[in-house]
Amino acid sequence: DTAVSQTPKYLVTQMGNDKSIKCEQNLGHDTMYWYKQDSKKFLKIMFSYNNKELIINETVPNRFSPKSPDKAHLNLHINSLELGDSAVYFCASSQDAGGGELFFGEGSRLTVL
Amino acid sequence: AQSVTQLGSHVSVSEGALVLLRCNYSSSVPPYLFWYVQYPNQGLQLLLKYTSAATLVKGINGFEAEFKKSETSFHLTKPSAHMSDAAEYFCAVSGANDMRFGAGTRLTVKP
């Protein structure tokens, strides 16, 4: 059983398109995150949700819109894709927002042409 | 704000040699510190964590790290490197609502 699963694993798309990445966790955790990893492996937090409520929204373009239908799911929708959006996007979860271990998905590699 | 700095973006060791990956933290409160490993095309996996109990923390795959408040450091070590240890290693500090990562250190192990 995969604890944190993301789909799709790979996306290749043209500039200007819209795409979504889905994430689900079966750990019963309250908090979920989206991180972006660039080509130099740098990991930057984008969003954090605790019990479906947004608690962190870093300086991310509003073309990125997270949605949490329930605490086990956190999806990421990206509008009007740009070349600079090419990266690996990681979903993660933690027991709560109080500073514990993060459990990561396998990542979704987005390539914008 | 809490942060971590990893010294050295790339470390190369011979198989069987000591592995030392350096991490310094900045925090106004006692930090929760972590080391994660990322193998190629995979997600991050927890190696070990410090949560203010013992200052010497043992993790998986023979890794350990020592929390030194006086030096604000949390360096990762392994006595004898294996080829399978080649990966990207991230130090991280947990904040109020998130986790902040260092820039990563790529470990190469030479036969």
A96 vs A80, residue with greater confidence: A80
Residue B28 pLDDT > 80, yes or no?
Answer: no
CB-CB: which of B34, B97, B101 is closest to A97?
B97
Q: How far is CA B41 from the centre of its chain?
A: 19
What does the pLDDT look like over A20-30, one tens digit per residue? 999 999 999 99
The closest of B1, B34, B18, B31 to B102, measured between CA atoms, is B34
The closest of A61, A107, A108 to A84, measured between CA atoms, is A61
CA atoms within 13 A on the CB side of A111: 5
Q: Say if CB B105 and CB B10 are below 8 A apart.
A: yes
pLDDT of residue B49: 93
pLDDT of residue A96: 80
What does the pLDDT look like over A28-67, one tens digit per residue? 999 999 999 999 999 999 999 988 888 877 878 999 999 9
The DSSP secondary structure of B36-56, one letter per residue, reads: EEE-TTS-EEEEEEE-SS-SE
* Percent of chain A predicted with pLDDT > 70: 99
CB-CB: which of B32, B43, B99 is closest to A105?
B43
Residue A78 pLDDT > 80, yes or no?
Answer: yes
Q: What is the mean pLDDT of residues A77-90?
A: 96
Residue B34 pLDDT > 90, yes or no?
Answer: yes
Residue B1 Cα, gap to closest chain A Cα (Å): 14
With CB atoms and an 8 Å threshold, state whether A101 touches B34: yes
3-state SS class at A93: strand
pLDDT of residue B86: 97
* Percent of chain A predicted with pLDDT > 90: 81
With CB atoms and an 8 Å threshold, state whether B43 touches A90: yes
pLDDT of residue A1: 67
